[in-house]
Structure 1
Amino acid sequence: MTRQEPAPAHRTPLNRDRVLRAAVALADTTGIDALSMRKLAQELDVVPMALYKHVAGKEELLDGMTDAVLGEIDPPAAGPDWRQVVRGRILSARRVLLRHPWAARVIESRSAPTPAVLAYLDSMAGAFRDGGLSADLTHHVMHAMGSRLLGFSQELFDTSGPSGPPDPALAAHYPHIAELAATAAHDGGSAVGGGCDDQFEFEFALDLLLEGFEGLRRRGWTSARRA
């Protein structure tokens, strides 16, 4: 009787989407600094050259990962109050970046906005315009919001260190800074990367900005009259 060879194991075809999803998962697990084309190929059980059929190299891979992550942000919800529409979208973006702590750094490292970043920012500008903000005011609002539109912002200093009473030498030379440090409460588990705002601080500043923009809209503010 002729011995039959076992059928080859079914292998999921490699495509760009599978490469990007695997790269995102690997960065979530090992950190973005540990990500390499070689390690990604090992994760997908392919030779490294197979990846280059779908991404030209590490930089294109990072661009694609950025777009994959932004694709997880909820679409804008309809509502009568533009502030709640914008707020909800930004907090959705923040939840996404909390799931992928490396993503904020990668977004900032891109030499030019990726298509998904441009589409997201375009939709946010549309939300401001739909809310009655002029194109002039929207332009300045987008500048004022900066990376906060994408759910993250950088602190002046790294606040991810241990909490507790301030150093006596610090208090002696910089009493007001020491006072603030003693009263601040930072939730390290909610930070988008080291040194970023915690959730309360992020929402506090976001709400202040949105209320301020609404006040300018009601007054008919224009940059030509800013003086």
Structure 2
Amino acid sequence: MPENDDPKPRSKLRGRAAAIGLTKAQVIAAALAQIDEKGLQAFSMRELARSLDVSPGNIYFHLGGAKEDLFAEISGALTASVSENIDAGMPWQDRLRQVFLAYRDTVGTHPNLAPMLGAQMKSNGVANLAWVETVLGALGDAGYHGQALRDAFNALIGGLGGFITMEFAPAPSEKAREWEELFAARVAAIDPELYPRTHAVLPELSNRIFVLRWQNGTNVSYAGGYELLLNLLIDGLAAHAPRGPDTSSPTDTTN
């Protein structure tokens, strides 16, 4: 049969037949590429399906019944990557430092994801368990358990994740250039009589600190502040580590 007589050309296979061979990893990679290019707000399941030459139903078949399932898998893929090659024999402080520095580097390559990772619960899910396991293991070795473990975990994730969410916060999507110029002008015009301390250090702080900036971490590095926060949290956890046995341990045989 001549090639042009093929009754089912590839471009028309958009149902389950087109999904044969499609993997979760391919769906995640395609979704991440779309978010990298167009931003989180412009993400479209229909466009994702078109890019993979399948129907939207096939995306849900692979990843669950809602867009939130896909976002959780994207988050999980990123957090799993930062947990790889962590030496469990390293001191717990070094493990935390390594995994959270890697997390910032990873988010920095996909800054459009930052709002989802830090500020939206739809990125939550069991797909993040590799990261959770690594952090809990380090905190357990530091002596944290029970309520103290929960508080320490939330302090790390909230503090460092929140920092990254702010660092890569998106600028206005419309008239971005005009907004930047207007904001820069307003910062430069800060009244020295009303705000003398702020005005005195404007050359060092302008567009370099949260609140008084018009560019995010893709243009201006906040590595120094992040590493300071990470070290402060780790030092604080070491200083406040509980003293005494882990009474919540599954091997505890006391009554």
TM-score range, shorter chain: 0.7 to 0.9
TM-superposed CA distance for 1:98, in Å, is: 0.9
Root-mean-square deviation (CA, aligned residues, Å) is 3.8
Residue number among 79, 85, 88 corresponding to 1:78 in the alignment: 88
Distance 1:137 1:177, change over 3 A: farther
Residue pair 2:80, 2:130 contacting (<8 A) in 1 also: no
1:52 is paired with a residue whose SS is helix
Residue pair 1:24, 1:65 contacting (<8 A) in 2 also: yes
Q: Structure 2 CA distance, aligned partners of 1:21 and 1:198?
A: 27
Residue pair 2:83, 2:134 contacting (<8 A) in 1 also: no
Q: Matched residues, percent identical?
A: 24
Q: How many residues align?
A: 215
Please tell me whether residue 121 in structure 1 is matched to residue 142 in structure 2: no
Distance 1:50 1:125, change over 3 A: closer
In the TM superposition, what are the counterparts of 1:132-151 in structure 2 within 5 Å? 132-150=143-161
Aligned to 2:175: none
2:83 is paired with a residue whose SS is coil
Distance 1:58 1:154, change over 3 A: closer
Q: TM-score, normalised by structure 1?
A: 0.74
Distance 1:22 1:146, change over 3 A: same
Distance 1:23 1:137, change over 3 A: same
In the TM superposition, what are the counterparts of 1:41-80 in structure 2 within 5 Å? 41-54=49-62, 55-75=64-84, 76-80=86-90
Distance 1:122 1:180, change over 3 A: farther
Tell which deviates more after alignment, 181-190 or 135-144: 181-190
Q: Structure 1 CA distance, aligned partners of 2:35 and 2:152?
A: 32
Residue number among 14, 25, 29 corresponding to 2:33 in the alignment: 25
Q: Structure 1 CA distance, aligned partners of 2:65 and 2:57?
A: 10
Please tell me whether residue 210 in structure 1 is matched to residue 234 in structure 2: yes
Distance 1:172 1:220, change over 3 A: farther
Residue pair 2:71, 2:123 contacting (<8 A) in 1 also: no
Name the amino acid aligned to 1:57.
Answer: A
1:23 is paired with a residue whose SS is helix
Please tell me whether residue 186 in structure 1 is matched to residue 205 in structure 2: no
2:81 is paired with a residue whose SS is coil
Name the amino acid aligned to 2:70.
Answer: L
Q: TM-score, normalised by structure 2?
A: 0.67
2:88 is paired with a residue whose SS is coil
Residue pair 2:34, 2:48 contacting (<8 A) in 1 also: yes
Aligned to 1:173: 194
Please tell me whether residue 105 in structure 1 is matched to residue 115 in structure 2: yes
Q: Structure 1 CA distance, aligned partners of 2:34 and 2:165?
A: 25
Please tell me whether residue 13 in structure 1 is matched to residue 21 in structure 2: yes
Q: Structure 1 CA distance, aligned partners of 2:102 and 2:166?
A: 20
